[in-house]
Amino acid sequence: MPLPTPVSRKHMHTRRVEYRGFLREDGLWDIEGELHDSKPHAFEIKGEGQWAPGEAVHHMCIRVTLDNHMVVQDIQVAMDSTPHEPCIQTIEPMRRMIGCRMGGGWRQAIERNLGGVQGCTHLRELLYNMATAAFQTMAEVAFAAPSQDKPPAHLGKCLTWDFNSPVVERVYPMFFRWQPPAKPSA
């Protein structure tokens, strides 16, 4: 279903983001993210240079290697196009993500290790959404048969996976209408 017809407008910018997931021969997983920014017209950034129509302003790639527990084992970064020379200095700090787990707290780990001037806004944006690409890639592991007392992490995180939804009733009947245990009062 297409979007409604927009008012008359002028195309000013294109951002393409793509994620790819791979199972490696050694049993680990690679999740790759790529970000590409361009403009359909020529433009200049004062003191930095000029760009032709369609030329990459940003072109950045990240490969995160995960184990079956979604813990980062390695991270590689390529910044083929950046508008400013200092941007490449944000590659090395990305190694701080090794040992972090994609799952609850992933965004906080990114902010703690790479937030603000410690890192690059665009690389952080790629990392944020790598977790959902990883879950889709590792579905057989991530959505494996849950324990009878602890629901899979994706339940309760969206309308479809609401504990009260017909999808949960069908796919995870043991957690249909599930309520987390009450926390002991202090």
Q: What is the pLDDT of residues 117-129, one digit of tens each?
A: 999 999 999 999 9
CA-nearest of 115, 137, 139, 154 to 64 is: 137
Which residues of the chain carry a pLDDT beneath 70?
Answer: 142-147, 186
Q: How far apart are CA 58 and CA 18, in angstroms?
A: 14
Q: What is the mean pLDDT of the chain?
A: 92
The predicted structure's pLDDT at residue 142: 65
The predicted structure's pLDDT at residue 179: 86
Domain 14-142 has CATH 3.30.390: yes
Q: How far apart are CA 137 and CA 31, in angstroms?
A: 8
The predicted structure's pLDDT at residue 139: 86
CA-nearest of 45, 118, 108 to 82 is: 45
The predicted structure's pLDDT at residue 61: 98
Rg of the chain over all Cα atoms, to the nearest angstrom: 21
Dihedral (CA of 182, 183, 184, 186) sign: negative
